[in-house]
């Protein structure tokens, strides 16, 4: 077991209360880390440290700030083995998946360093004053991008290192300071990142880490008068609480919330290839990615064939020890999460869906202590079923039949969510009609969840506010000021 402290104002500290909590390996229930259980007084100290550091940090040149972010990216590379190990131990990421996420985190941090230099250097051309002679100008007008101030960065447990890097990089590159609240369930990963950053001799207070439950620490941050901006990734329910809490001080919000993402398979698609590819995407990270497809709309002409190939592929997925290189699907992140998923499975059966794959825990000594589930597939879904409307966030998906493009679009858009979607067809003109009509922040044709460091991310409707990361990453962490100077 590793014992961690919080990183506040350039110093390692315990929680004021002296209380701690434990994180566990979801593969076997063993304790991984002991971390401080922060309270409001700890949040106050972290916010005060960030606020004190903000003026000097925001006055640094963009080159200086971007250089710091580039150094953090380099440190992530240097410590990738430690981070990969913790992703496997504390999150349950597979040995296949964890290195991909750490590489993605590093790429996002590197991009933030360079993209911030481009974003912060934008200037509009001079414009003539009213009444000035043609061809002359005595007025300079430009748009100035400025940091918000102190940012609260609240990250999820499903891709812990990736989302920490995605938020910290553009946040500090553009001149903000921050208080980071990593997910409680794998806080060791967040504090390991703090440990890596602490060795870089950065200015005290620009990055602070506090650990504890979102129900208390998240509330303390979202109501705090010293916090100017909140970036949150997590469920829509928690996001709504943050929106309500932050409204009292009118904070700017960047929210990446839930998803219930449709994949639409037309009758002219490469059915076998699409079924196999979508199945592997669906059960990656045990279905614990907000971007994964969970509602499948398959044309009635190819529905049975698609489901048959999808289920056959699912039945071949190796569920097991995440540290085993051959494992495709490890455990879900916690007992509570498994219990939630099993309630959704029961509700689907009770409401009349047909279980065609999985639905149970794997058996055997390997699975006795961990939080495992088999890949689970339902058919015969109806639009009003719970499993058809709510985000499960686990290895459990369902299938619908459709007979026309119009009905498929209507059904796919019939959701409070609008994060992403995909269309599978050989007719690209037809596919683009779906792209234009689907109410989602990202839409793919003949692929799903294809993301690179340059990709901005965010959804429509209850899936969130603003776009985060990618080439737009620094923009979200700045506010725009119009400046007009008349020469006299």
| 378: containing domain | 261-453
Q: Is the model's pLDDT at 121 over the cut of 80?
A: no
As a whole number, mean pLDDT of residues 411-428 equals 98
Identified catalytic residue from 290, 357, 396, 420: 290
The domain that holds 316 is classified in CATH as: 3.40.309.10
Q: Are residues 22 and 109 in the same domain?
A: yes
Is position 412 within any domain? Answer: yes
The SS3 assignment for 256 reads strand
Q: Are residues 78 and 188 in the same domain?
A: yes
Q: Is the model's pLDDT at 137 over the cut of 90?
A: no
Identified catalytic residue from 90, 342, 391, 468: 468
Q: Are residues 105 and 177 in the same domain?
A: yes
CA distance linking residue 222 with residue 251, whole number of Å: 8
Q: Which tens digits make up the pLDDT trace of 233-289?
A: 999 999 999 999 999 999 999 999 999 999 999 999 999 999 999 999 999 999 999
Q: Are residues 199 and 118 in the same domain?
A: yes
How much of the chain, in percent, has pLDDT values that exceed 70?
97
Q: Are residues 334 and 246 in the same domain?
A: no
Based on the residue annotation, tell me whether 290 is a catalytic residue of this protein.
yes
The predicted pLDDT at position 10 comes to: 97
First and final C-alpha spacing in the chain: 68
Is position 376 within any domain? Answer: yes
Q: Are residues 291 and 212 in the same domain?
A: no
Is position 459 within any domain? Answer: no
Q: Is the model's pLDDT at 136 over the cut of 60?
A: no
Q: Is the model's pLDDT at 340 over the cut of 70?
A: yes
Based on the residue annotation, tell me whether 30 is a catalytic residue of this protein.
no
Q: Which tens digits make up the pLDDT trace of 35-88?
A: 999 999 999 999 999 999 999 999 999 999 999 999 999 999 999 999 999 999
3, with CB counted inside 10 A (0-12, 13-18, 19+), is exposed
CA distance linking residue 29 with residue 377, whole number of Å: 27
Q: Are residues 327 and 198 in the same domain?
A: no
**Mean pLDDT computed over every residue of the chain:** 95
Beta strands in 226-342 (DSSP E): 229-233, 252-256, 261-265, 293-299
16-25, Cβ contacts within 8 angstroms, sequence gap of 24 or more: 16/41, 16/42, 21/184, 21/187, 21/212, 23/90, 23/184, 23/185, 23/186, 23/187, 23/188, 24/90, 24/334, 25/89, 25/90, 25/92, 25/370
CA angle 116, 121, 485 (to 5 degrees): 140
CA distance linking residue 339 with residue 398, whole number of Å: 19
Based on the residue annotation, tell me whether 468 is a catalytic residue of this protein.
yes
Q: Are residues 217 and 300 in the same domain?
A: no
Identified catalytic residue from 87, 90, 110, 256: 256
As a whole number, mean pLDDT of residues 299-318 equals 98
Q: Are residues 327 and 403 in the same domain?
A: yes
Based on the residue annotation, tell me whether 256 is a catalytic residue of this protein.
yes
Q: Are residues 250 and 324 in the same domain?
A: no
Is position 41 within any domain? Answer: yes
The predicted pLDDT at position 128 comes to: 56
Q: Which tens digits make up the pLDDT trace of 369-391?
A: 999 999 999 999 999 999 999 99
DSSP for residue 90? I
Q: Are residues 279 and 216 in the same domain?
A: no
Judge contact between 113 and 67, C-beta under 8 A.
yes
| Count of domains forming the chain | 2
What is the CB neighbour count within 10 angstroms for residue 316? 12
Q: Are residues 69 and 178 in the same domain?
A: yes
Identified catalytic residue from 45, 167, 181, 260: 167
The SS3 assignment for 68 reads helix
């Amino acid at each position: 077991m590793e014992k961690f402290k919080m990183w506040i104002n350039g110093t390692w500290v315990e929680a004021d209360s002296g209380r701690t909590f434990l994180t566990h390996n979801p593969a076997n229930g063993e304790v991984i880390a002991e971390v401080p259980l922060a309270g409001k007084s700890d949040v106050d100290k972290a916010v005060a440290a960030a606020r004190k550091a903000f003026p000097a940090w925001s006055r640094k040149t963009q080159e200086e700030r971007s250089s710091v972010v580039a150094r953090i990216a380099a440190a992530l590379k240097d410590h990738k083995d430690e981070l990969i190990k913790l992703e496997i131990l504390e999150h349950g990421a597979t040995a296949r998946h964890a290195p991909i996420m750490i590489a993605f985190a590093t790429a996002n941090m590197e991009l933030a360093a360079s993209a911030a230099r481009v974003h912060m250097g934008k200037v509009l051309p001079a414009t003539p004053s009213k009444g000035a002679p043609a061809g002359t100008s005595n007025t300079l007008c430009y748009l100035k991008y400025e940091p918000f101030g102190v940012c609260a960065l609240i990250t999820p447990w499903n891709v812990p290192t990736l989302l920490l890097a995605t938020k910290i990089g553009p946040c500090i590159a553009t001149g903000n300071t921050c208080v980071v609240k990593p997910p409680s369930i794998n806080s060791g990963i967040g504090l390991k990142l703090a440990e890596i950053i602490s060795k870089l001799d950065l200015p005290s207070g620009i990055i602070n880490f506090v650990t504890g439950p979102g129900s208390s620490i998240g509330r303390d941050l979202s109501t705090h008068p010293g916090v100017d901006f909140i970036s949150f990734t997590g469920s829509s329910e928690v996001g709504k609480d943050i929106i309500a809490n932050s409204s009292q001080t009118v904070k700017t919000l960047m929210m990446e919330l839930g998803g219930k993402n449709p994949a639409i398979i037309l009758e002219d698609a490469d059915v076998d290839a699409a079924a196999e590819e979508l199945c592997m995407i669906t059960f990656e990270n045990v279905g614990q990615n907000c971007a994964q497809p969970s509602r499948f709309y398959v044309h009635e002409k190819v529905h049975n064939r698609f489901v048959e190939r999808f289920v056959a592929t699912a039945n071949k997925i190796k569920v097991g020890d995440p540290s085993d290189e051959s494992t495709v699907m490890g455990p879900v992140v916690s007992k509570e999460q498994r219990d939630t998923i099993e309630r959704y499975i029961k509700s689907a059966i009770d409401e009349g869906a047909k279980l065609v794959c999985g639905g149970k825990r794997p058996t055997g000594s390997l699975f006795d202590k961990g939080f495992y589930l088999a890949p689970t597939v339902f058919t015969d879904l109806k639009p009003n079923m719970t499993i058809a409307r709510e985000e499960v966030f686990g290895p459990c998906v369902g299938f619908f039949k459709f007979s026309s493009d119009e009905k498929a679009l209507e059904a796919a858009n019939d959701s409070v969510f609008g994060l992403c979607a995909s269309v599978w067809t050989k007719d690209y003109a037809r596919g683009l009609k779906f792209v234009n009509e689907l109410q989602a922040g990202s839409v793919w044709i003949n692929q799903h969840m294809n993301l690179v460091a340059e990709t901005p991310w965010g959804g429509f409707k209850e899936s969130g506010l603003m776009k985060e990361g990618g080439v737009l990453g620094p923009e979200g962490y700045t506010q725009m000021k119009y400046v007009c100077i008349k020469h006299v």
